[in-house]
Amino acid sequence: MAFQGFGPQAMPFFKALGFHQTKEWFEENRETYETAVKAPMGDLVEETAARLAKARIPIKGDRKSSVFRIHRDVRFSQNKDPYKTNAGVALTRSGSKRDPGVLYFHLSPEECFFAAGFHMPDPHELAKLRAAAARAPKTFKQMTAKLATAELNLSHEDALRRPPRGLEDIDDPEVAAAMRLKNFICLRPVSEAQIRKPALVDDFCTFAADSLPLLKWGWDALSDSR
């Protein structure tokens, strides 16, 4: 089904869920979740994936594998609330959410945004991303310049205060700053007006194209055998 936008019940559902957080309330309001959140999110994924395939952008997804579950994994968390108060979807080269290099959309009452890149990579992957920037600074800066032309930049949220040992003596300020990154991602805010319109698919596809230089750079870095 073609994406028609998220309706007016989506945000109030999450706000109420944040207050109640019980299985009984969720089951009583499951239909609202299914129709106002889950179904349109699936439509967004599949229409976006079809458009990306047509544009030969190597990112896949579908409503079964790309939409995150609303149930929280509370096994290792002090917060035992059983439900998330947001929805998200991740598209990747293989279609699996675990594949490195993600195109992401986040929906919540607090904020909505598109994101792309390498979020919380494991230590080996993070080391390879940093090494790629340090080893080929020109290529790295060409990538960030392409992001800048689309008014995107690498997020420095949660960056280390100091670079890791062995990466302290980099003269180029931009590359030196990249050594402190724990994530290589870029983001674009999405307004509540945008989420209500079918054109959100266009916005998502535009963001995918704009952020593709980062994804391609990261994929190359992770595939480097050095």
pLDDT in tens, 67-110: 999 999 878 777 789 999 999 999 999 999 989 999 999 999 99
pLDDT at residue 167, rounded to an integer: 85
**pLDDT digits over 116-167, tens only?**
999 999 999 999 999 999 999 999 999 999 999 999 999 999 999 998 888 8
- E strands in the chain: 87-91, 102-107, 112-118, 184-190
Kindly report the number of other CB atoms within 10 A of residue 176's CB atom: 17
Supply the pTM of this predicted model: 0.95
CA 196 to chain centroid: 20
**What is the rounded distance in angstroms from the CA atom of residue 143 to the CA atom of residue 218?**
10
Contacts of 131 (CB under 8 A, 6+ apart): 221, 226
Cβ–Cβ < 8 Å for 107, 41: yes
pLDDT at residue 125, rounded to an integer: 96
Cβ–Cβ < 8 Å for 95, 88: no
Residue 207: pLDDT over 90: yes
More confident residue, 1 or 213: 213
**What is the rounded distance in angstroms from the CA atom of residue 42 to the CA atom of residue 61?**
9
Q: Side by side, which strands form the sheet with 184-190?
A: 87-91, 102-107, 112-118, 184-190
Residue 225: pLDDT over 80: no
Structure tokens at 128: 């390879």
Instruction: Report the chain's mean pLDDT, rounded to a whole number.
Output: 95
Confidence of residue 6 (pLDDT cuts 50, 70, 90): very high
**What is the rounded distance in angstroms from the CA atom of residue 43 to the CA atom of residue 24?**
27
pLDDT at residue 64, rounded to an integer: 95
**What is the rounded distance in angstroms from the CA atom of residue 47 to the CA atom of residue 97?**
17
